[in-house]
Amino acid sequence: MDADERAWVDGLRRGDSAAFDAAFAAYRRRVYGYLIRMVRRRDVAEDLLQETFLRLAQHATRLAADTRLGAWLFTVAHRLVVSWSRAQAVRAQLAGDLPARTADERSPLEALADSQAQLALERAFAALAPAYREVALLVGLEGLAPTEVAQILGHSPEAVRQRLARARTQLAAALGEHAPAAWRTS
């Protein structure tokens, strides 16, 4: 836990809105990046981001002094993604199959890619099963330790490491010629 994070947690525990603003500024991109890559819809990601930070605000004065804010926020975001996914599955069952995206239609994330390699990478992450994509994002992009991710997801560290290994294998296969050179030889 770094000094900034400790100061934000102390401030939040006192109900200090400046501490909330600092934490929001520090984590909003990271949490939003995780959310949009999990739900793949901008409007839903924004709603879930709002809910994540609403819960931080509502729980602010009851946070433990040693709360690791990043892990706390990703735990809430993960639970919201799980709830949303369940609701989506029920809705899909009730409504029948929705029309699939056409092959040349780009998602909002793919539209951000400024090279073929980035596009291939974004698509490779999107093609991962959600359980593998989640650990790949939290460990790879967010730099969280597998033990921390295990706590966030409620799994064992070993299960997280297995998912990481599978995510890496599937990414390498999906990326093909765009995979890093070291991956192609290993």
User: Which residues in this chain contact another protein in the complex, by CB under 8 A?
Assistant: 12, 15, 17, 20-21, 24, 28-29, 32-33, 36-37, 46, 49-50, 53-62, 109, 112-114, 117-118, 121-122, 125, 136-137, 139-141, 143, 146, 161, 164-165, 167-168, 171, 180, 182-183
Which CB atom, from 17 or from 156, has the smaller least distance to another protein?
17
Q: Rounded to an integer, what distance in angstroms lies between the CA atom of residue 10 and that of residue 149?
A: 24
Least spacing, CB of residue 2 vs another protein, in Å: 19
Which CB atom, from 28 or from 155, has the smaller least distance to another protein?
28
Burial of 61 (0-12, 13-18, 19+ CB in 10 A): exposed
Query: To which residue do tokens 């998602």 refer?
Result: 107
Q: Are 155 and 121 in contact (CB under 8 A)?
A: no
Least spacing, CB of residue 10 vs another protein, in Å: 14
Least spacing, CB of residue 129 vs another protein, in Å: 15
Least spacing, CB of residue 25 vs another protein, in Å: 8
Of the candidates 77, 71, 51, the one whose C-alpha atom is nearest the C-alpha of residue 9 is: 71
Spell out the SS3 assignment of 41-79: CHHHHHHHHHHHHHHHHHHHHHCCCCCCHHHHHHHHHHH
Which CB atom, from 88 or from 118, has the smaller least distance to another protein?
118
Which CB atom, from 58 or from 93, has the smaller least distance to another protein?
58
Which CB atom, from 6 or from 28, has the smaller least distance to another protein?
28
Q: What are phi and psi of 120, to 5 degrees?
A: -65, -40
H-only helix segments in 130-178: 130-135, 146-153, 157-175
Q: What angle separates helix 17-39 from helix 42-59, to the nearest 10 degrees?
A: 150
Least spacing, CB of residue 41 vs another protein, in Å: 13
